[in-house]
A and B are shown apart, each in its own frame.
Chain A
Amino acid sequence: MKVEVEPDKCIASGQCVLIAGSVFDQNEDDGIVVLLGSEVTGGEEDAVLSAARVCPARAIHVLDGQR
């Protein structure tokens, strides 16, 4: 599964970090999303889908996973 983020849309709610901290982090200056890796492996897929679902800015896009 592949994941992409749009930092310009991000509002730094931090929910993705809480749900999938091994995939998402926050920029030290302003808390904006930083993607740690765009390839998501089996164990993290559910968490990444959940993070994409709750992201208030719709800034997380799962590319080839089924929702």
Chain B
Amino acid sequence: MEQPVSQVRLWNGGLAWMVTRYDDVREVLADPRLSSDMSRPGFPAHNASVAATRQKHRTFLNMDDPEHAKQRRMVTRDFMIKHVEALRPRIQRHVDALIDEFSAGPQPADLVTGIALPTSSATISELLGVPYEDHEFFESRSRTISSGDVEPVEALQAYEELREFLRGLVDRKRAEPAQDVISHLVELETRGDIGIDELLNMLRLLLGAGHETTANMIALGTLALLEHPEQLERLRNDPSPQRVAAAVEELLRYLTISHFGRRRIAVEDLEIGGQTIKAGEAVVVANDSANRDPDAFPDPDVLDLERDARHHLTFGYGVHQCLGQPLARVELQVVYPTLFRRLPDLRLAAPMNELPFKTHSVFYGLFSMPVAW
């Protein structure tokens, strides 16, 4: 890494400073002089669809403090460790039932639609108060929004469809409140704390981010374990909560599904890693590169489930760090050991080089993953 901060050309022809070292990435993401506001001219969006949807429909993802903190704090309660831990037994029962059904079916079968998506979609649906029966609808529209392979107009259309779907749910919860996130946000909206537009965008964000990311990690993590049988064996021999938790952190680091990095724009002149960045200039931080920085993770290209990888940057860093991380952790801590205990002969049923990876999607993952057992 001779030029840890260097200029790169973006998809739209714009320039951005790309930051690759672990320490520099943390500095960028912790610095309030670097804005997440996508409406600022020259903001380095991931692709044309992201630029179109996020400029039209703002969420706290692309706000700065204090506006960001005000909105984010409306939902932090729901992702508290205590509340998410209380869901663990239900997630375990759900995963067990999914594996019952999956293993009784024909082989080979797709792990993404059979295990990965149903685990994360059912969990976030329940937390938010979205009927799980609608999962194919919200999964396909969310996939379109983050695909990176569709025209912006198609991504905007999918976004609108999700907003209308969520508007219907908001109206229902207004009439019949329940113990869920939608009902809680409706209460805040009634009090005037948040407008209906922003409420719908926030729900869209929570629903999308709450299922796509974790589903990608379930499939890719399973694949990584199958490709490293000696590591998998160690996990099988000692599936204690501490070992499983450490393994999940290392898989999060090693796979870094937030592979398009985090994006910011400087609002003041500043210096990162010895490089001057001027107000108005764009910055892209490469989480994936930072997570393989040997100064932060010795032998970074080795998957080592016993290393302490908790300081990884897969969930980001700074005030925008992933809101749903406690929920993602619990789901992953349940899924991997249960899957390999229940299906000890689980194996890939297609050549690795034929697997459809989500190369252009905002989050890395697999569109499908044929397995046998």
Q: In the assembly, what is the distance between CA of A30 and CA of B30, in Å?
A: 21
From B42-50, B107-115, B220-228, B312-320, the one touching the partner chain is B312-320
Interface residues in chain A, defined as those with a beta carbon under 8 Å from any beta carbon in chain B: 11-15, 17-19, 21, 26, 28-32, 50, 53-54, 56-58
Closest to B310 in A: A54
Whether B82 sits at the interface, judged by CB under 8 Å, is yes
Tell me the B18-66 residues at the A interface (CB within 8 Å): 29-30
Having A12-B79, A18-B329, A56-B315, one finds 6 other A-B pairs with CB under 8 Å, namely A12-B80, A14-B81, A14-B84, A19-B310, A32-B76, A50-B310
Q: In the assembly, what is the distance between CA of A15 and CA of B308, in Å?
A: 14
CB-CB under 8 A from A53, the residues of chain B are 311
Interface residues in chain B, defined as those with a beta carbon under 8 Å from any beta carbon in chain A: 29-30, 69, 72-73, 76-77, 79-82, 84, 308, 310-311, 315-319, 321-322, 325-326, 329
Are A13 and B325 in contact, CB atoms less than 8 angstroms apart? yes
CB-CB under 8 A from B29, the residues of chain A are 56
Are A12 and B76 in contact, CB atoms less than 8 angstroms apart? yes
Are A57 and B318 in contact, CB atoms less than 8 angstroms apart? yes
CB-CB under 8 A from A58, the residues of chain B are 30
CB-CB under 8 A from B319, the residues of chain A are 11, 56-57
Are A56 and B80 in contact, CB atoms less than 8 angstroms apart? no
Partner of B82 from the list A26, A29, A30 (CB cut-off 8 Å) is A26
**Complex A-B: 18 CB contacts under 8 Å:** A11-B76, A12-B79, A13-B322, A14-B81, A14-B325, A14-B326, A26-B80, A28-B77, A30-B73, A31-B77, A32-B73, A53-B311, A54-B311, A56-B30, A56-B315, A56-B317, A56-B319, A57-B319
CB-CB under 8 A from A28, the residues of chain B are 77, 80
Are A13 and B310 in contact, CB atoms less than 8 angstroms apart? no
Closest to A18 in B: B81
Partner of A13 from the list B30, B82, B311, B321 (CB cut-off 8 Å) is B321
Are B79 and A14 in contact, CB atoms less than 8 angstroms apart? yes
Q: In the assembly, what is the distance between CA of A53 and CA of B312, in Å?
A: 11
Closest to B72 in A: A11
Q: In the assembly, what is the distance between CA of A17 and CA of B76, in Å?
A: 14
CB-CB under 8 A from B321, the residues of chain A are 11, 13, 56-57
